[in-house]
Structure 1
Amino acid sequence: SLMPLPPFTQMAQPFAKVPPPLPGNVWLIFSFPESGLGFLTAEMFPRIPQEREPWDALWPQRVADRRARFVRTIFEKALAAVADCHDAGVAHGSISPASITGAPFDQRDPRRLIIQLQDFGFSTQLPGVEPKRRSELIRDDLYALAYAYLQLLFSSLTTSPNEDDGVFTPASGMIYDQETLRDIFERKFKMDFKGAGRDWAYQREEWEHVCKELDGPDDTQEGWKLLHAMINCRGAASRSKGG
């Protein structure tokens, strides 16, 4: 009698007659996380329940620091992934928290985090693109990644009172979309992250941990400066062309 087909063969059968991708198409090869649970998008991270340490109730600031460090790691590894794409000659074209995937999303150990990019439907292959347009595409990716980071920061670190145990907890349901953040920082504060935007954010008690993370441990405001540079990079290119 015939042996039953293994699951992966059964899954592949419907695609047996599908022609292979054309030469020059972008191929994505994903590694599978050790947990076996698959990758989740960074957009999902703020709502993922996290394990607590026994001493969290005594030092709630450590919970905020741990969460901020993990969000920073997501951004750093996403930035490295975008740089790898550019080095490989591909501009992503639609970066958002939904196109950044990762595992495991355990904020206690950011060293284990693996970050990958998906959703390359609007990508552009850079070889052959004229230099001016190539620069614009790369700057567009940096601009989009900055807002992805900003969205992740505000959605993960905005707080609400927890009167039961005094432990830092993200505000339930406070998920900030990029359009809201653009309205705040671009239309209201004219993309001034280092000045008026930062000053206004500090007046909001629920954004205390966001502001502390962007200020950095030595209050050098490095996070604000980085966001300011990334989000203004497209305008900087326009100004330089205009003289």
Structure 2
Amino acid sequence: MHVDRAIPSTAIDPGGLKIISLANQKGGMGKTTVTMQLAAALSRRHRVLVVDVDPQQSTVWWAENAERHLPFDFAGRQQPSVLSRLSLLAGEYDFVIVDTPGSLEDTRILEVVVDASDFVIVPLAPEPLAVEPTMRTIQRLIEPRGTRFAVLLNRIDPRVHGQLDTWKELLDVTLGVPRLDAYLRQYKAQADAPVLGRLVTTVRDNRSTQGAIWDVTLLGLEVTEQLSPQLQGAW
């Protein structure tokens, strides 16, 4: 993970259950896609539970389309208060991934989720109008709580020359916020995944899917290394 500004080293227990939330008050940044695909990648070697506290229930719709092919446990729509009880599941799961609302109206939900999280992933698509609400999410909701976080560049278009480097420099130099080294490129396989109920663990590895599979796999590896180094060897 690339960090130009120190991340608070508060209480990441090297063992036990880790709660990872996806948060950004700007909608359309891909929180649900990252939630579901990251959970699938982690489930290759770890015990994973997905919790949805977003009233839109996008992960619920995806899970229903997947029918019985989910490689992780899925709790469906839950009230944010359930997060305070997740520590009781420490013997059953290694990771809990939480999908959250993407709107200014749901600030209280995000506050509860961030308070309960060990790590927050802030997805950011390369859209100039997304920068201000993303920074507002970080500065008003995440940083004051001292919760570890990092921005994940999402929907990077591999056909646009220099796009990735431009946005890396924006985060690293101009804004000075923590950034994951992993990033997700924009592929048709990812765009079609929710309606088809597909995950990186359920699609064939071929020319049309291998880029998306590779990106999500690298994300899973980096998240594991950041939060549970003792589990890294399980990959």
Normalising to structure 1: TM-score of the pair?
Answer: 0.22
**Looking at CA atoms only, which structure, 1 or 2, has the larger radius of gyration?**
1
Higher strand share: 2
Higher helix share: 1
Q: Which has the higher contact order (CA 8 A, sep 6+)?
A: 2
